[in-house]
Amino acid sequence: MEEMMTATPRLTSPKEVRALLEKLGHRPNKGLGQNFLIDANILDIIANTADLQPKDSVLEIGPGLGALTERILPKAKSVTCIEKDPTMVEYLKSRFTEFTLIDSDALDVDLDALFAGGITKVAANLPYSVASRLMVDIAECEHRPELMSLTIQKEVADRLCSPAGSKHYGVLSILTGVAYGNTLVKKISPTCFLPPPKVWSAVVRMERRKVPIVGSAEYPTFKNLVKYCFSQRRKQIGTILKRMGISPVDELLADAGIEHTERPERIEIERWAKLARLLS
Ligand code: SAM
């Protein structure tokens, strides 16, 4: 028993993770999305999807107890972690030495500065409540990373990876799809986590496009246009634009290759980009 408490706990053993949490006096915090991955196979899939090379500097958001961290540390040149929970921060400091730890809310960190400083990949089991916001924030960074391997809620993964015409296609697919090609790699059962979440999850791969579909000059118009139009996704695009006071709508839509009667969910990113370019 004494040996078990002094040896480094195995983070893929539910029994040892439970004992560790008890020793730390910590109850998983729902608000912080603390569902710890305990499945070695899934952790390997996340690490492998990031395709880590010895030259890579990697960012992990929300390392928790470090189950993914210990898999990416030996594969990368450097690992930077951002963790909000002070108990996790203290534990990570005691468990790992060769890494940089930022004890902060990831939403308060200047992520673009980290990427400008040389971080080129992200591997993470993201806190679900802020996952969509973080993915869009990263896609909007000037120095956005070349590859991301992320675990997110399955329902969010569907939205991220859906093409135009699908019922899941929307603002998230478009604002991330401008800069990344998104693919769903693996669905994950709640039983792979401790405690198990109520929903299924998925590993997604986001690979940076060589050239983003929308340039930075037109991006603000593009984003406002897409958000506004999807707030009325059942309406026809011609009707929405007329309501916005845009004129002449028919000519503009014809130039963008869009039918007056099309609904926002049928318009691919490239045609939204054309429309935004014409508007700006
Ligand atoms: N990576 C670990 C794993 O796979 O077992 C833990 C993942 S858990 C889903 C999410 C982690 O993100 C938790 O450790 C939580 O404390 C942390 N977290 C939640 N919100 C955060 C935020 N806004 N900024 C940074 N970390 C956050």
Q: Supply the pLDDT for residue 247.
A: 86
**Mean of pLDDT values over 247-253:** 93
Task: Indicate the domain borders of the chain.
Answer: 2-208, 219-279
Q: Supply the pLDDT for residue 1.
A: 41
pLDDT over 50 at 4, yes or no: no
**Residue 3: pLDDT band by 50, 70, 90 thresholds?**
very low
Ligand 1 in contact with 105 (CB < 6 A)? Answer: yes
In CATH, 2-208 is 2.60.40.420: no
Q: Using DSSP bridges, classify how beta strands 201-208 and 147-153 pair: parallel, antiparallel or unpaired.
A: antiparallel
The CATH architecture that domain 219-279 belongs to is Orthogonal Bundle (1.10)
Confidence (pTM): 0.95
Mean pLDDT of all residues belonging to the chain: 96
The fraction of the chain above a pLDDT of 70, given in percent, is: 98
**Does the bond joining 145 to the residue before it have cis omega, within 30 degrees of 0?**
no
Q: Supply the pLDDT for residue 6.
A: 60
Q: Supply the pLDDT for residue 162.
A: 97
pLDDT, tens digit (0-9, with 9 covering 90-100), for 83-100: 999 999 999 999 999 999
Q: 3-state DSSP call for residue 102? A: strand
Residue with CA at minimum distance from ligand 1 atom 14? 64
Q: Which of 43, 68, 85 to mutate to test the pocket of ligand 1 (most atoms within 8 A of CB)?
A: 85
pLDDT over 50 at 241, yes or no: yes
Residue with CA at minimum distance from ligand 1 atom 19? 32
In angstroms, rounded to a whole number, what is the distance separating the alpha carbons of residues 257 and 227? 20
